[in-house]
Amino acid sequence: MNEPVRIDKWLWAARFFRSRGLAQTAIENGRVLLAGQRVKLSRALRVGDELTLRIGDDERTIVVRGLDDRRGSAPVAQALYEETAESLARRQERREARRFLAEPAQAIAHGRPTKRDRRQLGRLRDGQGA
């Protein structure tokens, strides 16, 4: 299939997103760039186009190698694109950094403090120690 394919359909078919709706949201929020520029949902992809995808904390730079608007198996989807060497190296560096350095924001507990937590905070504020 060498006909141009809408970018949201292609991202879904290449298994970057679980649904077309998620792909559309990512495009609208500027997380998908084509040659460094924001794109519209209806933008048609062509073989050789370079996309930059930001999914969560990961950023990938890929080159479109095939076009399809039908979602297939993972090996078929992986044949639709090729990740650049720089992108692979960047992702590997980030993976190593995450392994060795804990992100401070990850240690923060979510939600309201418990009664015990509030007592400890009160003691710290009053200068009594924990």
In 3D space, the residue among 7, 93, 3, 19 whose CA is nearest the CA of residue 52 turns out to be 7
> How does pLDDT run across 19-33, given as a tens digit for each residue?
999 999 999 999 999
- CATH superfamily of the domain spanning 5-126: RNA-binding S4 domain (3.10.290.10)
Pairing of strands 44-45, 5-6: antiparallel
3-class secondary-structure state, position 68: coil
Q: For the segment 44-103, what is each residue's pLDDT rounded down to a tens digit?
A: 999 999 999 999 888 999 999 999 989 999 999 999 999 999 999 999 998 888 777 766
Q: Can you give the residue ranges of every domain in the chain?
A: 5-126
Chain-centroid distance, C-alpha 95: 14
Cβ burial, residue 11 (10 Å; 0-12/13-18/19+):
buried
